Each structure stands twice: as structure tokens, then as C-alpha cells.
Amino acid sequence: MRWSKVITVVGAHAEGEIGRVVTAGVLNEPGLSMLERLNWLNDEADHIRRFCLFEPRGAAQMTVNLLTPPSSPDADVGFIPMQGDGSHAMSGSNAMCVTTVVLETGMIEMEEPQTVVRLDTAAGLVVATAQCKDGRVQSVTLDFLPSFADALDCVVEVPGLGPVKLDVAFGGVYYVLVDAEQLDLKIAPENAKKMVELGNRIKLAAKKHLSVQHPTVPQFNEIEFCMFTDVEDQQNKVYRNATIMPPGRIDRSPCGTGTAARLAVMHARGEVELDESVTMRSTIGSRFKAQVSGNVEIGNLTGVTTRISGRAWVYGIHQLGVDPTDPFPTGFTMADTWGDGIEHMLPDL
């Protein structure tokens, strides 16, 4: 065996959503800020994402998180989630995976019963509080960056569906939120393929007809995800989320940034009070505990801060390598699992 490149990743998942963490093999990224590093990854170094995420070393159903030195003196570590369609500013489930991995591997010293890890992201500082016992992380609570409802009850004409009512909100990235009931749709594993097809169609229509612009970060000007929402038990404040992830799959967790966006919408409608605890469940039934923790001004908008708690587990340690004669040095995608929403890259053999 002879490898020309080796990257070490620790495998973890947060409530079912896979978030591998790169712990060795990638040099520090240039740039003074996390946003500059994100731009560098997307514009100049996308081969890192492809190497870690595309087949045969990766799969569509995962995220790979790149650790970086923090750009802020208030942070302990930076991270950038790399996903099927590109690298993104923030992910809640992946923040839980990163926190669990850096503590359980000793990259940051664990203190029991509680360790605070300050995460530097391209969307801002996220404070993670880990409950620790017997050398492992039992749960992670994230104090999120400001979120806000951008537009409520928009009606968008969607090909094949007609008019669809949706909300637009920011929870670290921009979402369109769609009540699944209006489509006579139940958030359940057996409907995953249908939800992906409808969600992709709705997002494309929303991007065509709606514009977004973050009030303080010029780069955040694009709708990135569609999330279906449902109510499981109104009396006990139990809800369901299903975020459609490019190129064509469902987030296995209740989705952290999606939960933040949904809480901002619910608070704007008066459906959840300050400090009121709710449960967000995923398509597979896993759960986050969440609450609106405060009100905040974001530029000329009024938004909220949120607190979201979940669990993550380490499941493996992997070394990803490539032989210099391998015809697929940065991997490949196939439409049978990656869908037709992503560029399919095959080398010239």
C-alpha cells in the first residue's frame, strides 16, 4: 500500500445525522476570519471536501467537518461543515459532533461534570456546553447565534404543486419552512423519497421568486434549505422537522439551524414564549430540546437567540487515503444516490 495523501477523521453522529470530523492531514486554512476560510474552501480548495465526502471515501448521507484554529480570541476551535453541495457557514448537529469529538479525543481537555467549548463559525460564535461523565459527553447544549423570521406566509407557485405557502427564516443559514400538512404529507421514513423530491422542487421555486439578504453579513443572500414542519403533540409542545439536504436526502437529526429558524418563526407568531421548552423530533424520531433564550437586534431586524440540546456519539476512527494510481483521486458521484441536483464528476480515464 502506498498513499500520496492521508486524512484522519473521527466518525460521529448527532441524533442519527453523521458528522465526521477531520483531525489530521489538512494544513491550517488561510484567511483572517472563518468567513474568509469558508470562501477559500468553496472557491479554491473544494478538492478537500470532494476527497473526504465523495465516493469511494464518503457518501451522500454525511457531513465532514474541517477543524481550524479559531479566528476569534473568544473561541476555542473553529469548524466548517463540508456537505454534498459545498461548504457551509454553520450546522447545529455538526457542532454537537465536533464538541463531542474534540472532548472525547482529548483535543480539548474535558472537565466533569461540564465543559464549555466556544466554537468559531463563519456565521458567528456558538457556545457549546457539554455535560460530561466518566470520560464521555452525555449531551451538548448550543447557545446559538441570532436567528430571525424574514418573511411569513409567502405564497410561491411551485411547478406540479401549484401555490405553496411558506415562511422564510435565518437560523445560521436561510430556510424556507413548509407545513407538511398542506401537502397532505406526513414526516415519516417511508415518505423520505417523496419529501426529497417535493422539497427540492419547492426550494428551487422559492429561490426563483424570493430574495433574501442578511442585514449584517452580505455573503448570506441565498436560500440554502427547505424544511418540512409538522406538529406531533401540541399540548406537550412536540414538533417534527425534516430538512431536505442537497443533493437529495433528509437530515437524520431534527436539524439544529433549522430548529433555530423554526423557533424564530414560532416566536414571531406568538406560538412559543421566551424560555419555553419544546421538543423537536426528526424523521427517524430522534430529538432535540430547544427554547428561545432571548430577543436580539440584528441590523434593522428583531430576532431571537436560541438554545438547542442534543446528543452525539463517536462510532469510529478512519484514515482516508489515495493511491497515486487511483483514477478517482478526488472521488465521484452517481445519480442513483446523489440525485441529479449536483455536478457529477468523473475523471477522463
CA distance 238 to 234: 6
Catalytic residue among 91, 147, 253, 286: 91
Task: Choose, from 97, 132, 226, 255, the residue flagged as catalytic.
Answer: 255
Contact by Cβ (8 Å): 340, 25? no
**Alpha helices (H) in the chain, listed in sequence order:** 34-43, 46-53, 92-104, 192-209, 256-268, 335-338
> Within 13 Å, how many C-alpha atoms sit on residue 107's CB side?
20
CB 172 within 8 A of CB 117: no
User: Do 315 and 174 form a contact (C-beta atoms < 8 A)?
Assistant: no
- Active site includes 91? yes
Mind giving me the DSSP string for 97-156?
Answer: HHHHHHHHTTSS---SSEEEEEEEETTEEEEEEEEEETTEEEEEEEEPPPBEEEEEEEEE
Using CA of residue 340, residue 251, residue 187, residue 209, what is the dihedral sign? negative
For this structure, is 286 an active site residue?
A: no
Handedness of CA 269, 309, 129, 245 (dihedral sign): negative
Pairing of strands 148-158, 162-170: antiparallel
Contacting residues for 204 by C-beta, under 8 A, at least 6 apart: none
Q: 240 and 233 in contact (C-beta within 8 Å)?
A: no
Q: What is d(CA 259, CA 241) in angstroms, rounded to the nearest whole number? A: 8
Annotated catalytic sites, by residue?
Answer: 91, 255
